[in-house]
């Protein structure tokens, strides 16, 4: 994944937020090396600022489309309706208006990847199937009703399956909070467990002092 953003602070924040979500991120301040980067890293997706020194976002967008199958999410100025239309008609897969909440950007990025089929929209862990697109969770071929928050939480755990994620990471990814009461996470983890572990062994494991993991034990 490639982030091209000349404002260093924003670029750094975006990069680290995406890394938090498990993506492999390179950050560039302009599009000079774009062709080289596309060749070398073969990114699945490029986050592209519209306003850039040198070639602007739309020119870069064309380059990307011509020489790569990468998805493109553009960062447009807030009220940039013209920008926005131009970006979409030029083939961007999504846009995010500045200023934005990091969580929103991350959500859109993963939505684009999912749509492009780079990320399987369904994740399977043991006998649990999570389909983010359909908003459906199944265990042992039986549908399970989750609320919106529970679903977001489980989708996040599923995306990070096998990896321990801290409550802070969860708060950021699911709620967009920088720092908050960990009990909020505990309460919703509890709710998810009650529903998905009603008919089967434990899948959401607590790692004391660190966080949680979604894993099917063998």
Q: Which is nearer to DNA, 111 or 189 (CB)?
A: 189
Could you give the 3-state DSSP secondary structure of residue 45?
strand
- In this structure, are residues 25 and 69 in contact, taking their beta carbons and an 8 Å threshold? no
Task: Draw the binding track, 130-169, toward DNA (x: CB under 7 A; -: no contact).
Answer: -----------------xxxx----------------x--
* Residue 141, binding choice from DNA, a second copy, none, Cβ under 5 to 8 Å by partner class: none
Binder of DNA out of 99, 183, 201, 218 (CB under 7 A): 183
* Residue 7, binding choice from DNA, a second copy, none, Cβ under 5 to 8 Å by partner class: a second copy
185 binds a second copy (CB under 8 A): no
Binder of a second copy out of 24, 134, 142, 202 (CB under 8 A): 134
CA atoms within 13 A on the CB side of 59: 11
Largest CA distance in the chain: 58
Query: Can you spell out the DSSP letters for 145-176?
Result: ---HHHHHHHHHHHHTTTS-B-HHHHIIIII-
Report how far apart the first and last C-alpha atoms of the chain are (Å, whole number): 33
In whole angstroms, the minimum distance from the beta carbon of 178 to a second copy comes to 7
* Residues between 111 and 130 that touch a second copy (CB under 8 A): 115-118
Near a second copy by CB under 8 A, which window of 30-38, 100-108, 183-191, 193-201? 100-108
Q: Are strands 45-49 and 71-76 parallel, antiparallel or unpaired?
A: parallel
10 binds a second copy (CB under 8 A): yes
Task: Draw the binding track, 43-72, toward a second copy (x: CB under 8 A; -: no contact).
Answer: ----------------------xxxxxxx-
Q: Which two tokens stand for residue 125?
A: 């862990």
In whole angstroms, the minimum distance from the beta carbon of 206 to DNA comes to 3
Query: Can you spell out the DSSP letters for 60-118?
Result: HHHHHHHH---EEEEEE-TT-HHHHHHHHHTT-SEEEESS--HHHHHHHHHHHHHHTTS
- Could you tell me which residues come within 8 angstroms of residue 92 by beta carbon, excluding any fewer than 6 positions away? 48, 61, 72, 73, 74
Could you give the 3-state DSSP secondary structure of residue 136?
strand
Site residues (CB under 8 A) for a second copy? 7-10, 12-13, 15-16, 20, 65-71, 81, 84, 89-91, 99, 101-103, 115-118, 133-135, 147-149, 151, 162-164, 178, 207-210, 213
Site residues (CB under 7 A) for DNA? 147-150, 167, 175, 180-184, 186-190, 193-194, 206, 208-211
């Amino acid at each position: 994944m490639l982030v091209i953003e000349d404002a260093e602070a924003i670029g750094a924040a975006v990069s680290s937020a995406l890394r938090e979500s498990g993506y492999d991120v390179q950050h560039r301040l302009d599009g000079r090396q774009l062709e080289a980067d596309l060749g070398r890293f073969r990114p699945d997706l490029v986050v592209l600022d519209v306003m850039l020194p040198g070639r602007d976002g739309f020119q870069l967008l064309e380059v990307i489309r011509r020489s790569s199958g990468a998805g493109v999410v553009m960062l447009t100025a807030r009220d940039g309706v013209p920008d926005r239309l131009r970006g979409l008609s030029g083939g961007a897969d999504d846009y995010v208006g500045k200023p934005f909440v990091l969580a929103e950007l991350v959500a859109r990025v993963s939505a684009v990847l999912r749509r492009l089929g780079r990320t399987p929209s369904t994740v399977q862990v043991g006998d649990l199937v999570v389909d983010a697109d359909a908003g459906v969770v199944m265990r042992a071929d039986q549908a399970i009703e989750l609320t919106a928050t529970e679903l977001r939480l489980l989708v996040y755990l599923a995306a990070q399956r096998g990896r321990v994620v801290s409550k802070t990471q969860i708060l950021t990814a699911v709620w967009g909070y920088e720092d908050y009461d960990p009990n909020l996470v505990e309460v919703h983890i509890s709710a998810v467990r009650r529903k998905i572990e009603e008919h089967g062994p434990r899948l959401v494991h607590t790692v004391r002092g660190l966080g949680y993991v979604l894993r099917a034990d063998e």
